[in-house]
Amino acid sequence: MSRSWSDGRCADCSQSPKPDEKGWLHCACPDKHWQLEAGAEGSPEESAFLKAHGFIFTGDIRGDKYYVGSMDRLIWLYADGTWRANPRPGEGMSFEDYVKASTLEELLAV
C-alpha cells in the first residue's frame, strides 16, 4: 500500500478550500474553485488491512465514503492515491502507522 497524505490545501496559496453556498470549494486564489470530492472504497488489500484494525466502511447521505475506526477516527481514501484523516495524523505519519495506532499518543506522535 502506498497512499500519500493530502490535506486538501491549494498548491498555489496553501489555503484549505472552504465551501460556498452552492457547494463549490474556494481558496484565496481569485479564479480557482473545486467541487467537493467524495472518498472511495480502498483496494481489496487496503480494505482488508483497515478491517483487520477495526475500521468499517460507510458513507453519508451526500455520497461521501469513508472508514470509521477507534478513537473516533475517520479516514478518507481517494482515487488519486491520497488519503486524509480526522484527527489529523502526526507530521510524516504513514497511512499504515495511522491505521495501526492503538493509543492517542501513537496517533498524534510527531
Q: What average pLDDT does range 53-80 have in this prediction? A: 95
CA distance 4 to 24: 24
**Confidence band for 29, pLDDT divided at 50, 70 and 90:** very high
Those residues whose C-beta lies under 8 Å from the C-beta of residue 21, and which sit 6 or more positions away, are: none
At residue 110, the pLDDT reads 55
Residue 55 lies in a domain: yes
Count: domains in the chain? 2
Q: Are 56 and 105 contained in the same domain? A: yes
The domain in which residue 103 lies consists of 38-110
At residue 59, the pLDDT reads 94
CA distance 81 to 83: 7
At residue 101, the pLDDT reads 92
Residue 2 lies in a domain: no
Q: Are 31 and 49 contained in the same domain? A: no
More confident residue, 66 or 14: 66
pTM of the model: 0.84
Q: What average pLDDT does range 49-77 have in this prediction? A: 95
**Closest to 100 measured CA to CA, from 57, 58, 52:** 52
Q: Are 45 and 98 contained in the same domain? A: yes
Q: Are 108 and 54 contained in the same domain? A: yes
